[in-house]
Structures are given as C-alpha cells and as structure tokens.
Amino acid sequence: MRIHEYLEIVDKGGGKKAIKCIKCNHEFCDAKENYKEYALYRERPLSVFTSRKLLSGEEPFVVYQEYICPGCGILLEVDPYCELLDKENKIVWDIQVDV
Amino acid sequence: MSERIDAIKYEIFTHRLWRILEEGRIAMKMVSGSSVVVEGGETLSCFYDTNGVPTLSAAGVLLHLTGARDFIVKCIEWYEKDPGINEGDQFFFNDYYIGGQHLADEIVIKPIFWKGKRVAWTSAFMHTPETGGVEPGGMPVSATEIFHEGPRFLGLKIVEAGKFRPEVFKTITDNTRDPLLVGLDAKARIAANNVCAQKYLELVGAYGIEFVQAASKKIIKDSEKMSRDFLRKLPNGTWRARQYADTTGFDSKPFKVHCTMTKKDDELTFDLTGSSPQNPDSINSAFPATFGAVFVTLASQLFGNIPWNGGMIAPMKVIAPEGSVVNPRFPAAACQAPPTVGEMITATSHECVAKMLFAAGIYDRVNSGWSGGNGSFPHLGGVNQYGDSFGAQILDVFSSGAGAAPYRDGVDTAANMMNPSSQISDCEVTEQNVPLMYLQRMNGIDSGGFGKFDGGMGPEHIYMIHGGDNIHMGNAGIGKRAPAGFGMFGGYSTGLEEGIYVKDSDIAEMFKQSKVPVSYADVMKLKGEKVFAPAAMKVMPVKSFDILKTRHAGGGGYGDPLERDIEKVFQDVRLHAISIETAKEAYGVIINPKTNKVDNEATEAERKRIIAERLKEGRRLK
C-alpha cells in the first residue's frame, strides 16, 4: 500500500508489515510506527534559500525540519518547526494508517 | 415519499433549485457595488428546511456554507413567539459567535411561506466592506473585543410583512464609514432573497408542495449517503498537521493550529486540540468560523462532487478546545479569522485530507497547500477622492497560488481555497472606488514552494495612495514570519508574505523621468520613511504618493526538488518564476548567466553534492 510519494507499507509475512522507501527499498520501521523517527533528520534555517530572507532583516519564527531517507537521500518531508512553541512536541506523526 | 420520487423529475428539480440559488448570487452582484462581492464573489445563497438544515447552497465563499444555518436556528429560538416570524419578514444578522466568520459577514434570512405555512428558509450572505469598527475596512486588526469591530446585529427585521423598514436600514448603514456601499449590500441581500423565494414558490406551483418538500429531504439524505459511501472507500487511520503563524503588530508572537484527523469507516473527526490558547488580538476564530474553515477542505478537496448541504457534513465532527485560537471565549475579537486562523484550519485539515486521499490512491484530488495566509492584505478608509467617507479592503489576495499535485505544478495566481469562484479584483474598478493607484501587479518570483512539482506563484503589487490626504491604511493576515501554505512529500512550503510602506516618497520624481517602480529593489531606492509592515498591522495615516509594496505567498511544492526536470527549472528561471539563485539552492541546477544555458556537468555534480550533504548532516533520531 502506497502511503506517500516515496513510501509504502509492505507485507513481510507472519502478520508483520513495514514501511519501506519506494526508491531504494530501505526499511524504516514497523507499519505501526512513525517513519520520521527512523529517517535522517536535520534542521535548516529558511535563509538557506536567498528568496526566503525577509527584506526587513527579521528572523522567521520557524526553521525547516527535513526528513531524509538514509538509503538514498531522497527528501521525504519538510515541516516548518517553531522551537519556542513545540520543543516538547517536535515531530508531527503525519501518517498513521490503520494496519 | 422519497422512495417513490421519480428519478428524472428529481434530477431536474434539483438542478432548477441550484440554478435559482445561482440567480440569487447574480442578484447580489447586480445590486452590490463592492468589489469583494462583484469581483471577489463573496456571496452565498442557500435554501433550508423549516428548521434551518441546509438543503442546497450556491457559493461563493465556502466558509459560509455551514456558518449561515445557525442564524436561522437562533431566529426561531429567539423570535418565533415574540415578535413572531411572519410571511414577508427578513432578518438581518452579523454576529460571528452565532455564524459567519467576522462582523463583515452580514446575512439576511427570509422564511418562505406557502398558503400561510412556513415551508422553508432562504438566506443571502455577503461580506461587506465596512463595519464601523475602531479601524476602517471591516477588519479592525487592533480590536481586542468583538465590541471594537462594530455593531452586532442580532436579527433586526429589515423587512416586515413585505415592507422595507428604513429606520432599521439607516441604523445599519449609518453605523459605518461607508453608508452607500453597506446600504447597497443590505439591499442586495434582500433582492437575492426575494428572487430565491419567488422562484422557490414557482417551483412549488409547478411540482406541488408535497414533492418539493420530499425532494428537498432527499437531497439532504442523498448527500449524506454519498459522503458516507465515499468515506468507506478510504483507508482508516489518523493524519496530523500543524501550522505556525504570527500575531498582530510589530511585536508579533508565534502561535499554532494543530489538527488531528481520524477517519474510521464512514465518520471523520477533526480534533484541533493542541492549537494555541486564544490570542489577545483579533487573530482568533470563533467556533462557527472554525467549523466553516474545515468545511472548505471538505467541499473543495474531499467531497467536491457531492451537493453542499446538511447531509454532506453529517459524518463530520469538529473538536475545538474552548479558550483556544480555534474557539475563543466571548467577547474575544476575531475579525481576522478568515485570512488567519481560518486559513490555518483549512490548511491543516487539507494536509490531512490530501495525505489520506494519497493513501487511497486517489491522486487526482491530491494537492499541496494553497497560499494559506493572506498577509499584508490592505484595508484603508477615511475621505476618498470624491470627498466622501469610505472604508475598503483590497482583495488581490484572492489570486493566491495553488498547491502542486503528484503529477503537475500548482496553478499560478489561481484563487483562494475558501473562495474558488473568485476573480482577481479589477484594477480600474478599485482605482475608481478607492483613492489608490496600481503601479504594479505581477506573479511573484520565488513565491511558490519548491518541489518536484512547484507550487503556483502568488501575486505581487505596488500600490500608491492617490487622491486623498485624510486616509488611514493598515493590513491584515499572517504568513510573514512563518510560511502559510504547506509543502508535501519533500516539497517545500510557500514563500513568505511581506509588505513595505514608503511614506513621504519621492515617487513623483521617478514619474518625471517616465519611470515606475516594478520591484522591491526599485521601491527600496525611493526616498522616504520605510515601514516594514508586520503581516497584520493596525492602520496608520497615509497620504497621496505614499507607497505600499506587497508580496503574497504562492502554493506549496510537491516532492523532492532534486527530482524536478532540469529543463523545467531552466524554463522557470527564464519565465521569472524562480531566480537563478533558487535554481541552484533548491534544485541543484546550475545556469551559466553568461551563456544563459544549463551547465549539465555542474548540475549533476551539484545534485550529487546536495544528496551527500543530506546524508552527512542528517542524524538518526532513533
């Protein structure tokens, strides 16, 4: 079952299912878990892109959270993240399909 | 009765009913003089059963489809016994703690009688340009209580037994800075209701009251069945999304909306628990507005082919904690709800729905976030070029960019999701009505989200005050210090909104050289006091030749930008959709500015370098 542009849930037999990368077949985790916790993670300021710098010189409230496939380096998801508000709730579990 | 309804007769009846409602919308546009209605299309006509359950709607602004019903429920509860709801009556409301989004959303409801018995209701809903609040333009961003936003109207009989009541009309219009436009809007609603009620009764004459009422019930029942049947085809599960934004003023603070969507069999729950506590400013969304904002997602993304009525929303539940930005306690201000928290609720529920639809394999309904913020959305008022009092909003934000999809880029300057039938405002009409001139309107470079498929571009504008020196101007919205529209599956979120005022500008000197500013760089070169506006800013005095430059976000991107076709990136640069810097930074595409060609070897190396950097810098969380 494809749940994401680059991720699918595959049957491993014995009643077990896993989330895998469609590009490189990297296995992230059991289908009942959050794939983001098993991805490579980095934070980057919005200013890594020249066009996202504010002319006022103000800093945005957020940074980019980038989730990357450890197998092939494809970018899986980019979430804005505000540490001031969500230090304790850093990662959004965006896809939790009943399996 | 419904089981015995002839299918063909029913289809013809349903279509005629919908056409009547479209006629109601046309009537509103013909009578109103405000650009938010005539061009922006912020109108709703709707029929309801005797108790206020929507039978069929035509819109307009999708936000209002659910927001209108509770006015009828309250009208019955409050006025059925005293002074009574009688044939020929029409009631005027605007309180957003009952329905609608903010006080500028005014509605007139009319009971429809047949042989002395109330058989249905109709309503005409429109956004009006002025409410008489502490700032002009109907969205006074500095309000901290609903009482600062203008008078609340709680069911004034603007028409009684078929007789127009001038004293009620004058009370409504003369409590604002723009009695002419507000008055035309009030009459437009009455006209639309008269059209809809008259045509409805013609249908009753043609089909018989028994058929009309049975068919109306069937429309509601069929919508619910279609909604539930469709939901059963989708996978069960939970999807989550959050969005951040900035509050009003130069000392703006971050806040958030969090949405957890749970789909189980044929039920869908949107739980907004986790959203920030209510803001002390006017960036909040009262519960009716919150419900409407979720409905925007359902109507435009999930159930687009199902008749919009009470049946369609029967499988849906919205949980919004009291005291939060999505359900503030009365009398908290919320006049900025539609372009702020409302957009965030729509965006987060949309992200959940899009990912659910993807998991169901329904790719043609999947798209990333549309511009979900509308920051730097100007409002102004004072004395216009004709010497008359006025208040207005400039609605160019209705041409925001749309999100990218799994197989295509997002549409440039498309529409706002809450108002997909809108048109971009006509510059000439705006200049005629408001003491303001357009010096520039264009697609904003780099405004869309980067991705395998790009988000559509949002608009940029340069406005110049012209023809008045007793004017106050400010702006509403979010999206400056946190992107408003979401990217998806490796695509980046939208660009940032930004507005710059130049007060006491020397633009007249530029005109003498037969030049006009067309970019931020040009505006920054002007002499004068530069004010970098927050996304929402209370009004300040402006005068002729003062300048406002705005940039609006586009749509969100879809997929890893490194997967974007190199030739497409090159064309994006050529067409000024993205800059040459963005081509390198986001897409790893190197363009030689001297030859104006892609350096394929350098591009291949850059893309490999970016992948290697991701793998090196990324750390494992578990």
Chain B interface disruption, residue of A17, A29, A75, A94, most B CBs within 10 A: A75
Is residue B3 predicted with pLDDT exceeding 70?
A: no
Q: What pLDDT is recorded for position B279?
A: 96
Min Cα distance B494 → chain A (Å) is 9
Strand order, beta sheet including A27-30? A7-13, A16-21, A27-30
Do the domain assignments include residue A94?
A: no
Q: What is the pLDDT confidence band of residue B1, given thresholds at 50, 70 and 90?
A: very low
CA-closest candidate to residue B332, choices B143, B614, B552: B143
Do the domain assignments include residue A99?
A: no
**3-state SS class at A19:** strand
Is residue B228 predicted with pLDDT exceeding 90?
A: yes
Dist CA B473 CA B531 (whole Å): 12
Q: What is the pLDDT confidence band of residue B36, given thresholds at 50, 70 and 90?
A: confident
Q: What pLDDT is recorded for position B42?
A: 82
With CB atoms and an 8 Å threshold, state whether A66 touches B450. Answer: no
Min Cα distance B510 → chain A (Å) is 22
Average pLDDT over residues B593-612: 96
- Closest CA in chain A for residue B406: A5
Nearest to A73 among B452, B561, B611 (CB): B611
Which region among A82-86, B383-387, B419-423, B459-463 has the lowest average model confidence (pLDDT)? B419-423
Do the domain assignments include residue A21?
A: yes
Instruction: Check if the beta carbon of residue B199 is closer than 8 Å to that of residue B120.
Output: no
Measure Cα distances from B538 to A61, B376, B473, B474 in Å. Answer: 21, 11, 8, 5
Average pLDDT over residues B407-431: 85
Is residue B62 predicted with pLDDT exceeding 80?
A: no
Average pLDDT over residues B24-48: 88
Reading the block at residue B90, the tokens are: 């029409």
Chain B residues 334-373 with a CB less than 8 Å from chain A: 351, 355, 358-359, 361
Do the domain assignments include residue A54?
A: yes
**B-chain residues within 8 Å CB-CB of A96?**
237-240
Q: What pLDDT is recorded for position B305?
A: 84
With CB atoms and an 8 Å threshold, state whether A82 touches B614. Answer: no
With CB atoms and an 8 Å threshold, state whether B355 touches A38. Answer: no
B621 touches chain A (CB under 8 A): yes
Do the domain assignments include residue A97?
A: no
Do the domain assignments include residue A2?
A: no
Chain B residues 491-510 with a CB less than 8 Å from chain A: 491-493, 495-496, 498, 500
Do the domain assignments include residue A78?
A: yes
Average pLDDT over residues B555-582: 97
Do the domain assignments include residue A92?
A: no
Q: Which residues pair with A40 in a beta bridge?
A: A68, B620
Mean of all residue pLDDT scores within chain B: 93
How many domains is chain A built from? Answer: 1
Average pLDDT over residues B114-143: 93
Average pLDDT over residues B542-554: 93
Enclosing domain of residue A15: 7-86
**B-chain residues within 8 Å CB-CB of A39?**
618, 621
B446 touches chain A (CB under 8 A): yes
Q: What pLDDT is recorded for position B40?
A: 78
| The CA-based dihedral angle spanning residues B451, B454, B455, B458, taken in that order and rounded to the nearest 10 degrees | 130
Q: What pLDDT is recorded for position B35?
A: 80
Q: What pLDDT is recorded for position B310?
A: 83
Q: Which helix (H) or strand (E) holds B70?
A: helix B69-79
Dist CA A53 CA A46 (whole Å): 7
Domains in chain B: boundaries: 2-224, 374-558, 563-617
Is residue B283 predicted with pLDDT exceeding 90?
A: yes
Residue B405 backbone class (left: φ over 0; alpha: ψ -120 to 50; beta: rest): beta
Give the Cα-Cα-Cα angle B618, B621, B622 (nearest 5 degrees): 130
B559 touches chain A (CB under 8 A): yes
Q: What pLDDT is recorded for position B2?
A: 46
